Structure 1
Amino acid sequence: MTTRTAVNPLTTLERRALQSITTPEGSMLIVAADQRNGMKAAIPDAPGGSEAITRDELSAVKADLVRHLARHAPAILLDPEVALPSIVDEGVLDRDTALVVGLDASGFETVDGLRYTRFVPGVTPRTVRELGGGVAKMLYYTRPDRQDENSRVFDEIRALVAECEAEGLLLIVELLTYQLDGESDEEYAAAFPSLVADGAALAVAAGAKILKLQYPGSGEASAAVTAAAKGVPWAVLSAGVDHETFIVQVSEAVSHGAAGAMAGRSLWKDSLSYDPARREELLTTRALPRLRELADAVDGRR
């Protein structure tokens, strides 16, 4: 990762944590496996349908994803509801794979037309340490055209950044923008690139030191995000697009200042099975080559 003078400098502990989630060339690369209902939906052959998958069965799927895919990446993002602490306690997680712990619960609440995420009950920055993680991740929904430095989301980001820094944790701030009720598809599409860039600026003003963002739509828009981030590294999230599309997005974003990628469904959404043997085959022959191609993209080799 190219060294930048960021507006929100990293502490020594945070700098070491950032190294743990990067490739040898210095680009962020994290396999995202913190999904719960979304991962269930990606298991097409589950007896009784995806809704019938138990917590233990989903935990086993996540463990195999770690064994056969994530061990080949710098880091894995896991949830504290299903995956942890068992994947650590049972020795599934490779010693050389960094652990990022997701703090956000599934779903969101809506207040005055705006979306807000919640913490997994009982999970705090201290919990991340207790689960073996050195990096935390929290998701926030943003509409910077309706939220500023006096908003609830700004205060929430600022408070968590401070809590994580006090705990010696690097915090990845994930932002998702979204379409408002009554907003047309055309209006939202036109506003989307600015919403991503302005959301990044709002989070950076709140103290964010690492960002996980939607692809803003083009190289020019990616350059605008990089400028808005003021030296704070940002990684592209896959948002469920297919692998081929995501590779193009990552390559374009990296060439315009992005510092890496965090990929989930684009890697494994068609590589899961209820049958462990079939799961291993799909993860090894389908998902793993995608991960290697993604590593080339984040390191600028594509």
Structure 2
Amino acid sequence: MTTLTTAERRGMQAISTPGGNILIVAADQRNGMKAAIADAPGGSNAITKDKLAEVKADLVRHLANHAPGILLDPEVALPKIVDDGVLSRDTALVVGLDASGFETQDGLKFTRFVDGVTARTVRELGGDVAKMLWYVRPDQQTEDSRVADEIRALVSECESAGVLLIVELLTYQLDGESDEQYRSVFPQLVADSAALAVACGAKVLKLQYPGSAEAAAAVTAAAHGVPWAVLSAGVDHETFIGQVRTAMANGARGAMAGRSLWKDSLSISPTTRQELLTTRALPRLRELIEAVDGS
């Protein structure tokens, strides 16, 4: 099992519930959050960067400040949300390092880093923990692949900077691969992605729900003691709660939820937004905390 440094251990504590499990509200989305705002009643497709920053600030103010941690991006949200005093001192800040979108090479997807943001600047932005997303196809990529080299390099950089890194992995459908083919290999891809990242030194994983209790247990075995949290991937709240309970019962160590919490609470109107975040999204967060801690 990979050992955490003292600084990394403090970061892990900061993003954990009283029960010792990971619980983070994900709000680093940019295009996805714009789409959620546009879909809301009275929404608009003309969402400026400043308007998106206002929405993210309200999401922190009325929802994420009630969670152990919040994941934010340095392209829109940071450092303004910290500098303006919106973020509670009791809520840990996870800084997302991945830029929006991806590039392709030989039919495979690769994420990009936000320009100028490194493990060192995570601290400068007020962050406690870093997060980086990689697209992975472990049936096509091995420990000597580009993605593996990138994971190793960032894990080492973050450890040297005293910053815990959450490694987020997303599998995806290849060109020419049928829906049925992808569904059949998906659980194994999630487990093999975890194994690949752990082999590259990952210390905390953010993973897709692999589909079943048996598959979640296989992911836990593949992670070799490295804690993993399940991501919501845009499913509805009720579905995600069920996934979290199953994953936790089979070795997962927490959850990172974004759209399942707030996708229908981001009105253009600040007043309506506050009401929906408080009366709709916040009860969901409390239910999620209960699911994670098993109470």
TM-score above 0.5: yes
Q: Secondary structure at the match of 1:40?
A: helix
Output the CA distance in 2 between the equivalents of 1:300 and 1:199: 27
Asked if the contact 2:152–2:200 (Cα under 8 Å) also holds between the matched residues in 1, the reply is yes
- TM-fit CA distance, 1:49: 2.4
Structure-2 residue corresponding to 1:19? 13
| Within-5 A mapping of 1:250-265 | 250-265=244-259
Pick the aligned partner of 2:34 from 40, 47, 52: 40
Partner of residue 285 from structure 1, selected from 257, 279, 283: 279
Q: Does 1:93 align with 2:87?
A: yes
CA distance in 1, matches of 2:40, 2:212: 37
After TM superposition, the structure 1 stretch with the greater mean CA deviation from structure 2, 203-212 or 126-135, is: 126-135
**Which residue does 2:226 correspond to in 1?**
232
TM-score (norm 2): 0.98
After superposition, where does 1:1-302 map in structure 2 within 5 Å? 7-43=1-37, 44-45=39-40, 49-50=44-45, 52-301=46-295
Give 1:48 shift.
7.8
Gaps of 5+ in 1: 1-6
Gaps in structure 2 of 5+ consecutive residues: none
**Shift of the alpha carbon at 1:47?**
7.0
TM-score in terms of structure 1 length = 0.96
SS in structure 2 at match of 1:42: helix
Once the two structures are aligned, what percentage of the paired residues are identical? 77
Answer whether contact 1:158 1:207 (CA < 8 A) is retained.
Answer: yes
Question: Considering only aligned residues, what root-mean-square deviation do their CA atoms show, in Å?
Answer: 1.0
Contact 1:46–1:53 (CA under 8 A) maintained in structure 2: no
* CA–CA distance in structure 1, aligned partners of residues 214 and 33 of structure 2: 33
Distance 1:149 1:128 in 2: 27
Q: How far apart are the structure 1 equivalents of 2:213 and 2:232? A: 16
For 1:150 and 1:45, the matched residues in 2 are separated by 45
Distance 1:282 1:181 in 2: 39
Q: Deviations over 1:60-97 (max 9, x none)?
A: 00000000000110000000000000000000000000
Taking the aligned partners of 1:283 and 1:48, their CA distance within structure 2 comes to 16
